[in-house]
Amino acid sequence: MSERSSKIPLLEVRGLKQYFEIDRTHTVKAVDDVSFTVEKGTTFGLVGESGSGKSTIGRSVIRLYNPTAGEIYLGGREISGKLTAEKKHYLTTKMQMIFQDPMASLNPRKKVIDIVAEGLDANHLYKDKKEREEKVYAILERVGLNHEQANRYPHMFSGGQRQRIGIARAMIMEPEIIIADECISALDVSIQAQVVNIMKELQEERGLTYVFIAHDLAMVKYISDYIGVIHLGHFVEMGRKEEIFDHPVHPYTKSLLSAIPEPNPLTEPGRKSVTYDKNAEGVDYTKGKKNYLTETHMVLATEEELAQWNA
Amino acid sequence: MEGLKEKEVVLDVKDVSVSFKTNVGTLNAIRGVNFTLHRGETVAIVGESGSGKSVTVKAVMGIKSANEKINTGEILYTYEENGEKRTVDLLKFSRKEMVEKYNGKHIAMVFQDPMTALNPLLTIGYQLTEGMMKHLHLEKKEAWARGEELLAEVGIPNPKLTMKNYPHQLSGGMRQRVVIAIAISCDPDVLICDEPTTALDVTIQAKILELIQDMQKKRNISVIYITHDLGVVAKVADYVAVMYAGKIVERGTAYELYFQPRHPYTWGLLLAMPDLNTTEDRLYAIPGTPPNLLKKIIGDAFAPRNAFALNIDFEEEPPVYKLSETHEVSSWLEHPDAPKVEMPEALVRRIARMTGTAKQKGGLANE
Ligand SMILES: Nc1ncnc2c1ncn2[C@@H]1O[C@H](COP(=O)(O)OP(=O)(O)OP(=O)(O)O)[C@@H](O)[C@H]1O
Ligand SMILES: Nc1ncnc2c1ncn2[C@@H]1O[C@H](COP(=O)(O)OP(=O)(O)OP(=O)(O)O)[C@@H](O)[C@H]1O
Ligand SMILES: [Mg+2]
Ligand SMILES: [Mg+2]
């Protein structure tokens, strides 16, 4: 994922900007000049403050939004720009997204079997009804749901079950890359483990690539190879997971790591985390530049800031 | 723990069972749930996805789906009105009575799926001030000002703008915080939080948890907290209830649940949780799948997935064994004639590590 890598990355995002106009006087710069690359067969963890632009990056990359600026390449082919029918087909067969808000992304009037088969239907990916059904049942089973549940409607499911419907819908397409937006947060820890194990299996079997967006840093650390820390639409730090967890430099990364709640009722009650206030510390993200501490470890900072944080 | 002080029961959930009619049969979602909530305390409900946590707390709020039936039980709520103590069974009220009298003002809830709790067609400001005008009788302007304050309290960076936004214009975590702001806006007695911080980053999560704990100290409110994050449970919970397939299989203080767990399902949960040191190639997941609630469950629902199951586990439902004043478990392993079973080695090591870190960090906060 380093910008100097010589291999062609599976996903490359260059200078992505996504602005939203709220009204004539307000524009939200949800994503502001973001670049990153993801190598085939690896997992890129995206962590950061709520509202910092993680979901928007995912939605722009998969072209649910029309990016304000920037270029996006998938397998060396440009997928930004005008969305032709051919590009669209290429996109949906190669890339899938698991959405953060399960209920909002599932059609309430459709049965689960039809929701999960949506992508198969749209791209004619089966011979007959039987094969369609078999494919759906197989994937449901893999995510821990049973056949009987295939004929129910989304509102009849618990939060975690709905989340798994979303996972099944993405995985059934056998894409090359999945953008998983908070895809395990509503699951109990055992099913989380099960889903993460499936994700790893598929990665080993088929070289699947993930962009894994999550707030659970223990899980992000476990599953990711590289991690990007995003704050207010900017990557403030990026690197191999060891670099981020063992040698964090940016104060936002540090505050994030200090706030992870430990599953220990002896030490956790009353423990306070390190707070970080960008304005109080006078940090201006538009002034900082990308500093590479190693081939892979990037920190956004001015020279003075970097000296101060490293001290 | 204080121990001696007489504790005041705010909510007493007794033998509640709930089923749903579906096109494939009757689904028994809750099969006899019991727990109590004391004034000023926090009970966390953890457990399997689909085990009935949300259905249980929605019953407390008087929220029922069209195909839902409450078969047995009562939910006794004790509160003060005009200086007098009253106890009522919430299950006796209609939805309308609940909305008019209890929801929001007495008992408020933060819903798991914020998008379903918010009306997509109304601004955040409208939805946030509605309850305050109705229950607290605030003027529109006052309510609006208070709304902005609340948004700031839950860490929304630009409250003035957010008040004018529609739900789809906010990020997942911002929506979740709006729902939290709405829930606390009318000063409830009982606050139910169903996965309130899953969409939040850990720094904001910490802030929200501290906010709830502050409110709790100041106003002595009681909190029911549903979460899958055992780190969060460790931070906030006085008591923990573990649910599996529509029943509470174990409950106790946070200390008892983390350090002296007895039900094999609780063992599985604790083992499945990764921490920052986890590097194994595969995470531990409890083998098998949860039972089909459309079928009648015979014996202990966890038996087919339980490596320690006894013959009787497949025949008869285990009774509740009381291990301490606060610790209860429903498992045949507690029967005097049951073979002695030790918790898994990996869990013993994990617990030793936890007590070890606690000692290093200068002592036990909570014993
Ligand atoms: N359709 C939209 N219209 C207007 N503003 C939007 C829209 N979608 C997102 N935003 C704004 O863009 C910013 C980034 O939102 P995004 O959903 O990407 O955050 P996130 O990092 O995924 O946060 P979370 O962790 O809370 O899910 C937020 O300020 C949000 O209000
Ligand atoms: N309206 C409904 N019709 C049919 N079944 C339902 C309905 N609502 C819930 N259920 C079922 O009831 C069971 C309990 O659901 P509930 O939402 O309480 O689970 P939960 O413990 O909150 O799970 P999660 O952690 O995934 O949110 C689930 O098996 C679910 O499928
Ligand atoms: Mg998001
Ligand atoms: Mg739930």
pLDDT digits 0-9 by tens, A272-281 = 777 787 777 7
pLDDT digits (tens, 9 = 90+) for A195-240: 898 889 889 988 999 999 998 888 999 999 999 999 988 999 999 9
Chain A: residue nearest B268 by CA? Answer: A190
Burial B38-65 (b: 16+ CB within 10 A, else e): bebbbbbbbbbbbbbbbbbbbbbbbbbe
pLDDT of the residue at B361: 62
Count Cα atoms within 13 angstroms, Cβ side, for A110: 13
Please report whether residue A140 resides in a domain: yes
Chain A: residue nearest B364 by CA? Answer: A266
Chain B: residue nearest A256 by CA? Answer: B203
| pLDDT above 80 (res B96) | yes
Please report whether residue A131 resides in a domain: yes
Q: Which atom of ligand 2 is nearest to the CA of A160?
A: 26
- In short, whether B172's Cβ falls inside 6 Å of ligand 1 is yes
| pLDDT above 80 (res B111) | yes
pLDDT above 70 covers a percentage of chain B that reads 96
| pLDDT above 80 (res A2) | no
Best residue of A23, A229, A268 to probe chain B, by most B CBs closer than 10 Å: A268
pLDDT above 70 covers a percentage of chain A that reads 98
Please report whether residue A234 resides in a domain: yes
Counting the structural domains of chain A, the total is: 1
Please report whether residue A304 resides in a domain: yes
| pLDDT above 60 (res A66) | yes
In Å, what is the CA distance from B83 to each residue of A41, A106, B79, B80, B152?
66, 48, 10, 6, 33
Per mean pLDDT, which range of B49-63, B87-101, B111-125 is the poorest? Answer: B111-125
Best residue of A153, A188, A246 to probe chain B, by most B CBs closer than 10 Å: A188
- In short, whether A18's Cβ falls inside 6 Å of ligand 1 is no
Sign, Cα dihedral of A224, A228, A231, A236: positive
Please report whether residue A2 resides in a domain: no
Q: How far does the CA of residue B89 sit from the closest CA of chain A (Å)?
A: 26
Please report whether residue A17 resides in a domain: yes
Task: Name, of A112-116, B195-199, B291-295, the range with top average pLDDT.
Answer: A112-116
Query: B152 — alpha (psi -120 to 50), left (phi > 0) or beta?
Result: alpha
- Residue A269 is nearest to which of B113, B235, B286, comparing CB atoms? B235
| pLDDT above 90 (res B334) | yes
pLDDT of the residue at B5: 59
Q: How far does the CA of residue A59 sit from the closest CA of chain B (Å)?
A: 12
pLDDT of the residue at A7: 66
Rounded to an integer, the average pLDDT of A57-67 is: 94
pLDDT of the residue at A103: 72
Q: Are A290 and A298 in contact (CB under 8 A)?
A: yes
- In short, whether A51's Cβ falls inside 6 Å of ligand 1 is yes
Averaged pLDDT score across all residues of chain B:
90
pLDDT of the residue at B214: 85
Rounded to the nearest 5 degrees, what angle is found at the Cα of B74, between the Cα atoms of B68 and B78?
125
Please report whether residue A3 resides in a domain: no
CATH value at residue A31: 3.40.50.300
Q: Could you tell me the pLDDT band of residue B218, with boundaries at 50, 70 and 90? A: confident
pLDDT digits (tens, 9 = 90+) for B223-236: 999 999 999 999 99
- In short, whether B53's Cβ falls inside 6 Å of ligand 2 is yes
- In short, whether A37's Cβ falls inside 6 Å of ligand 1 is no
Please report whether residue A26 resides in a domain: yes
pLDDT of the residue at B365: 46
pLDDT digits (tens, 9 = 90+) for A148-190: 889 999 888 887 888 889 989 999 999 999 999 988 888 888 8
pLDDT digits (tens, 9 = 90+) for A23-42: 888 888 999 989 999 999 99
In Å, what is the CA distance from B71 to each residue of B15, B37, B63, B91?
10, 22, 15, 11
Ligand 1 center to A103 CA (angstroms)? 17
pLDDT above 90 covers a percentage of chain A that reads 57
Structural domain boundaries enclosing A29 = 11-310
Q: How far does the CA of residue A69 sit from the closest CA of chain B (Å)?
A: 20
Ligand nearest to the CA of A181: 3
